[in-house]
Amino acid sequence: MTRIQIGELPNFFDRYILLSTDNIQLLEALDEYSPEKLFSDIEIYKAIGDNIYAPNKWTLKDILQHCIDTERIMSYRALCFARNDDTVLPGFDENVYAKNTNLENRTIESLLVEFGQLRRSTIDLFTNMDKTMLLRKGTANMTRISPLALGFVIVGHPKHHESIIRERYYSLT
């Protein structure tokens, strides 16, 4: 299924959903915008290291961990709604998550390996959803949203952060 089959875009999440093209199939988009392809400038990332472009901003490792955490959360939401679970799911505070990581012991490479493995698992999850499952809606963070929409959030969210890295971090090398 494609992005335009989502119908009305959920508030807040629309900014990520709209970062993919109208007619690309979800599974194709998940592969096309994989972590390995989006975050391929390893040598530049190493040169940037733990530098930040302004006080109280995240490091590249923080950004990658945030993308990993977000993909896990969005995948869980998609699973719940696809399985017709009507539990209202909470939002999450990305800054609380960011403060509670163990990134001093991680490398950019290890984060990208984890992210790639997670994406393959995410693709497996969505591969096994039919149209009915993809279009079911549930509530997360006070927003009605379908697994299809969540899949395109998963596609667009790291793309959004990759753009920020290029715009604000590349000059730190």
d(CA 31, CA 159) in angstroms, rounded, equals 12
Q: What is the 8-class DSSP label of residue 143? A: E
Q: What is the pLDDT of residue 56?
A: 96
Q: What is the pLDDT, as a whole number, of residue 167?
A: 98
Whole-number Å distance between alpha carbons of 158 and 70: 9
C-alpha distances (whole Å) from 32 to each of 27, 59, 71, 90, 119 are 9, 25, 16, 29, 11
Q: Are 72 and 136 in contact (CB under 8 A)?
A: no
- Does the pTM surpass 0.95? The reply is yes
**Residue-range domains of the chain with CATH:** 27-46+58-172 (1.20.120.450)
How far apart (Å, rounded) are the C-alpha atoms in residues 90 and 75?
Answer: 14
CA distance 126 to 67: 18
Per-residue pLDDT, 89: 99
The pLDDT of residue 80: 99
pLDDT of residue 88: 98
Running DSSP on this structure, what letter comes out for residue 101? -
What's the pLDDT at 151?
A: 99
Q: What is the pLDDT along the chain (173 residues), one digit of tens a residue?
A: 999 999 999 999 999 999 999 899 999 999 999 999 999 999 999 999 999 999 999 999 999 999 999 999 999 999 999 999 999 999 999 999 999 999 999 999 999 999 999 999 999 999 999 999 999 999 999 999 999 999 999 999 999 999 999 999 999 99
Q: Name residue, tokens 């490091």.
A: 59
> What single DSSP character describes residue 145?
E
Residue with tokens 């993308």: 67
